[in-house]
Amino acid sequence: MAVTRSPLPQFLRLSKTSSLSQRLMLIGLVITVFFILIALLAPLLQSIGLLQNPTESLSNPIHVPPSEKYWFGTSRQGYDVFSRTLFGAQAALQVVILATSLSMLVGVPLGMVSGYVGGRWDKALLFLMDSIYTIPGLLLSVTLAFIVGRGILNAAIAISIAYIPQYYRVVRNHTVSVKTEVFVEAAQAIGANTWQVLSKYLFFNVIQSVPVLFTLNAADAILVLGGLGFLGLGLPPEVPEWGHDLKLALQALPTGIWWTALFPGLAMTLMVVGLSLFGEGLNEIINPRLRQQR
């Protein structure tokens, strides 16, 4: 019996979408690419002398307002706020990519296997993931950060655990519905094993919502990382990070040093908005029902 594979998944097809969703996704993409370029170019700019060392105290007196020499001013510790804001994008990008990738690499395979195999394995995993999902993400990340300690990899692990159930639930539900399709039953009839069915006939048909989850989780991971940094649980103090800088800035606000909070907070907000806009625009393209409702 010849096996006919399903057509390309919905998110790989060219589709007509509203101009609003196109604009949202384009704006979000531009903002996201802008921060990616900042993260990549910050070390290069420092090496050629166009950017100050973010961990070196420069100013005397200790804090200086924004000026031609220090565009974003300096903090009470004497750090260049402009340099720390740019290097903060690098730290955020590293943690976000690691956290969302780890959660995706764990949640997607578990969801596929659980939905396809079923039985006790499926019930046990579903119970475990639902239990994790009921815990607020920030609270879970804070608890895990206490256990694993500081550092880029440790922060990524602490954040990623909260997102695994989302990938698992979405992929599992798609797998349960797709595994009864004719092309899957035909593959089983000719003797395809579980790995072949999962990799060749199910994978591209159940991951259509994963890109949207990835971008939205990345936006949320930036806020969670900022929360960990604000609580002193994220990255080491010597690493420029927006949440940690906001913690120090909060202590300086009563003395009128407003610039140390404005620029890191604005950078965090813009990056979250960019990823969110891109994810929402992508979601409307992937899900035709959203376009129909609009």
- Segment-wise mean pLDDT, segments of 10 residues, the chain, 294 residues: 46 51 87 93 86 75 76 84 91 93 94 88 90 89 90 92 93 86 80 80 83 90 93 86 90 83 93 92 71 52
Number of domains in the chain: 1
Single pTM value for the model: 0.84
29 is written with which tokens? 């993409």
Q: Is 11 within a domain?
A: no
Task: Give the pLDDT confidence score for residue 225 in this predicted structure.
Answer: 94
Task: Give the pLDDT confidence score for residue 106 in this predicted structure.
Answer: 94
Task: Give the pLDDT confidence score for residue 252 in this predicted structure.
Answer: 80
Specify whether the CB–CB gap between 99 and 156 falls below 8 A: yes
Q: Please state, in angstroms and rounded to a whole number, the distance separating the CA atoms of residues 56 and 94.
A: 22
- AA letter at 63: H
- The torsion of the CA quartet 119, 122, 125, 127, rounded to 10 degrees, works out to -80
Largest CA distance in the chain: 81
Range of the domain at 113: 51-293
CATH number of the domain where residue 130 is located: 1.10.3720.10
Q: Is 225 within a domain?
A: yes
Q: Is 8 within a domain?
A: no
Q: Is 29 within a domain?
A: no
Q: Is 227 within a domain?
A: yes
Task: Give the pLDDT confidence score for residue 56 in this predicted structure.
Answer: 80
Q: Please state, in angstroms and rounded to a whole number, the distance separating the CA atoms of residues 253 and 63.
A: 12
Q: Is 190 within a domain?
A: yes
Q: Is 257 within a domain?
A: yes
Q: Is 183 within a domain?
A: yes
Residue identified by tokens 């010849």 is 2
